[in-house]
Structure 1
Amino acid sequence: MFVVGLTGGIAAGKTIVASRLAEKGAAHIDADQLAREVVGPGTPGLAAIVERFGEAILLPDGSLDRPALGAVVFSDPSARKDLEAITHPAVRELSHERMTEATASDPARVVVYDVPLLVESRGAGEFDRVVVVHAPRGMRVARMVTLRGMDEVDAVRRIDAQASDDERLAVADDVIDSSASLESTIKQTDALYKRLVALAAAKAAG
């Protein structure tokens, strides 16, 4: 199994790179999607969150009120750590299951694990390759305000809640610079995929 950890700060353009790699043939596993699954209604994860944060973070139908929980954890580092202690182990276990499924018929298939909080939660050691999608901090704030309609103060707070650019770049084997054009980002991603396929084939061949 050849697993690539794909990460990048919020609004760096990671979704574009992940989508392109999947189009080229990589198995795409989205950590955010897994994080939603492990706190779905009836899960042990949701029960643990309610025990820690109270029923105020539930919607009337019993599902998780993400904006309400987000408002708590993005303004309180200790609360965020408590949430991570609940969700990260469950996500890690589910991700391994999905990776195994994705490579069952083709051990040389490139698996892209799309994880925004790679530096903060998973670390680089468990991946064969770490790819960081990078754009300057100021550009990412502008994207969040312009494209997502987010308040600038909230955008800055969310960026500051993540690892710094330097921390991410320090663990990168490959960097996709998304600060120029979409065409440039796609071109870099296509070249990256060719390298990853070669590395995955070499690992599968022993």
Structure 2
Amino acid sequence: MFYDIKNKSLKYDEIFLKDVKLQSEEGEIDTQDTYFLSACDDKLLKELGFARVQEEKIPSFDEKTQELHQIKNYDEKNNLYVISYEIKEKSLEELKELKLEELKAIKEEKLLFMPYKNTFFQIDTDAKINISGKVSEIMLAQLNQKTLENINWIDKNNQIIIFSASEFLEFGTSIAKYTEEVIFKNDSLRNEVKNASSLEELKKIQWENKE
């Protein structure tokens, strides 16, 4: 890889064709000389309008809190195009936005499944509609003094879990309570993030699993 000084761009191959004119008996002839840039010394390389490229190794950095910036600089004296890297800390506001996105993802994940009696049940929007429908069916049967048989419900692992009518009502109530807790927890943590005044405060804000 070489640096094209005139066009201020990188050249990724090493072959350069230079237009030249040769004198012949018939006059000047337009032709081209072929140069392999890697075989040229520094003086010839500069005469051809190119510089060698020196690229530093990309340093390791924390993508969550830091940003990697590429710095390009042409050293005319040494005819060297240097590509280096600088690590900068992200601003507190940028880190807050990332933390808010993280909390949103956790909330959305938690609202897909709920732990209940040693297993997990799907509680996304469609699942809640189905559960609410079954709860309404149970309550209507109770009003009409009818008895519903045991209710079969499928857990996250596609295993059939058997509920009595009263157990299923308790299950439905638990979903409502769990959903409320997740939403309130998310709102509380979001407020903590927005009010954080330092990186240290921000790092302490974590969604701790209690399941």
Instruction: Give the TM-score of the pair, scaled to structure 2.
Output: 0.20
TM-score calculated relative to the size of structure 1: 0.21
Which structure features the higher share of strand residues? Answer: 2
- Which protein shows a greater Rg? 2
